[in-house]
Chain A
Amino acid sequence: DTGVSQNPRHKITKRGQNVTFRCDPISEHNRLYWYRQTLGQGPEFLTYFQNEAQLEKSRLLSDRFSAERPKGSFSTLEIQRTEQGDSAMYLCASSSLAGEQYFGPGTRLTVT
């Protein structure tokens, strides 16, 4: 296994468009996390899944943000009606039930 992967690595979109990012976790990991990182800041937690169940979503930034993990494997993060303030790096991490989190390379979103 090569670790957590994320696609695309970069996304440029116009304000008002919808975007979707994909995360493939380490295969044996039950938990999957999404974070956002803006310039000069540490990652900010958004949501997480245990298998297919989304156990925390109150930290999603607005109702324009949603995430799914339909079969307990890969996950998608969607942002609807993007705004310039959504420009950031979106990071995915995975862990086993009691383990440390391993991060993917991130998807850099630029909203013009």
Chain B
Amino acid sequence: GEDVEQSLFLSVREGDSSVINCTYTDSSSTYLYWYKQEPGAGLQLLTYIFSNMDMKQDQRLTVLLNKKDKHLSLRIADTQTGDSAIYFCAEPPSGGGADGLTFGKGTHLIIQP
């Protein structure tokens, strides 16, 4: 079965970089996703990376993919108080089907002033 794992908490100082890590199990995953959830809200798609890429950069966000180790990371540069949220890593179903995504438990990003 699929299992996506993340650390539960990350605390950083405002202005520093945040690095949120994720490991996944399905080597056939075509895309991998990062979502952001603020308190009481739904999930906001932040970014995604195709499996034939090693890195994707989008403004303050950098996604790194290590397929050999099945490791995905999200780096947020110049972390701001508005970045305080839960960040979820997600992978599609095995075999690239159209089933639902499998999510990790989420990493709570805590910003210290």
Residues of A33-64 contacting chain B, CB below 8 A: 33, 35, 40-46, 48, 50, 55-56, 59
Q: B42-78, CB under 8 A of A: which get 1 and which 0?
A: 1111001000000000000000000000000000000
Q: Which of B44, B48, B103 contacts A43 (CB 8 A)?
A: B103
Q: Which A-chain residue is minimally distant from B86 (CB atoms)?
A: A42
Interface size of A as a range: 20 to 34
Query: Could you tell me if B100 and A103 are in contact, using CB atoms closer than 8 angstroms?
Result: no
Interface size of B as a range: 20 to 34
Which residues of the partner chain B approach A25 to less than 8 Å between Cβ atoms?
Answer: none
Decide if B33 is an interface residue (CB 8 Å cutoff). Answer: yes
Query: Could you tell me if B106 and A101 are in contact, using CB atoms closer than 8 angstroms?
Result: no
A112 to chain B, nearest CB (A): 19
Query: Could you tell me if A106 and B100 are in contact, using CB atoms closer than 8 angstroms?
Result: no
A19 CA / B44 CA spacing, docked (Å): 26
Query: Could you tell me if B98 and A50 are in contact, using CB atoms closer than 8 angstroms?
Result: yes
Q: B25-44, CB under 8 A of A: which get 1 and which 0?
A: 00000010101000011111
Residues of A16-30 contacting chain B, CB below 8 A: none
Q: Which of B41, B42, B99, B105 contacts A42 (CB 8 A)?
A: B105
Q: A1-20, CB under 8 A of B: which get 1 and which 0?
A: 00010100000000000000
Q: Which 7 A-B pairs have the closest CB atoms?
A: A45-B100, A42-B103, A103-B43, A105-B42, A103-B42, A106-B42, A43-B103
Beyond A45-B101, A100-B48, 12 additional pairs, beta carbon < 8 A: A6-B42, A40-B105, A41-B105, A41-B106, A42-B88, A43-B101, A48-B98, A91-B43, A101-B45, A103-B45, A104-B42, A106-B42
